[in-house]
Structure 1
């Protein structure tokens, strides 16, 4: 080794300037367009709901019957209030069981006695600067569930979400050209609970790293891909592209509860959501 090598600075880790978290006071059309085009990793907006509103929703949820996602597929277990279409996927399509479950979930949310629809408030925040509509998506003319409250205190495995790969044909009546995941944090843990996003999208070779009978993958599936870690904050909303592999770290100290839904950009220019 030459003496000059000893004093040479270490090479900086490669960084994609388009893979970063953008923070702003509100969601803008540019934010959403940039995320759809891959010009950022995620968009974070603080105080989408005031802390008092988050506390009110949490208080209403204290008596709500949280259930787990399918325990065989989702390990460690994740608690949720509401219904997700992923638990009713059969043979690449939406099973008939989804519709009565969605209706029951709607009645359960109404039974909380909240003076407003919290998912509607989230859609309003997303649509303030969007030129098209922001509304719950439809399948076969029937409206899907608007979202769920999730409590992943033990975390989510490394995974990706992409309706195009999970369902045959189009999930919604309107074909999608981009997909997003939305979370608004009602309660955050004292330790852990970060959302980690990797600059890695699914490749056929990744299936060798899928965990048995699971939605998730071994963490080495992402290799040395660049990543960002985002610590949740009460009232903050996070919008990300779930086609990038992502995970939620285990947490402790208090409950990690967020309102969440999927969202797609339709060929009509509208933003369409579903639980």
Structure 2
């Protein structure tokens, strides 16, 4: 697929990474069952040659809680034994995993996603944009005080969660920080079809990054999830779309395509360095003017 007005310049490289999304169910009332599901998926993903595996939002805990007390019973700390078990699974399978869960930090709850590898916890991201839905009614927004992009042997991985997709700045910050792949755990309901069909492609294309979105296709608390987990290329091409099926779905990604930010319309004559053409000072001035009305 061509980018509007041109195509990305792609350099030859031998570096190919196998990225997968795990479209798997969760059981709201059984944390250990969800842990076993995730560990099993990591093992299967590694056996299939996947190097990065992205799980849905709140995969370990469930999402559609009716009270804070209910959410608190399913939340775990980053130092919980279950996280250690996931790290061990990643070590055995030689896989990097991004897993959604409810995190407790003292008395505070976060909707979080942890990036794990064979050597331990690589990063933690706490959802910053919270819709008035499900467990997001009972958690605090992330403060952005932890790095959102982590450098790994298979590329630079950035993380955002579900509703963050609605805000262009969320993905743009990750791209500016050098993300090759943006991993996005989500809990899309069936009404999110437009997001799955259009917005994921736009976010990948406008930032020239790969986007790996993991959703569920089961039901929880009377709500049916959409599914449509996918891997999207920097050209806006959907490389894999899980539809409504359960399983692990992967695609080969080429890091050079994400690291090159040049559009080539006429080689040697009409080439655009997309990020170099940004005008952040001008954007800030426009924002100030809009806010003050002057």
Q: Which has the higher contact order (CA 8 A, sep 6+)?
A: 1
TM over 0.5: no
TM range, smaller chain: under 0.3
TM-score normalised to structure 1 length: 0.27
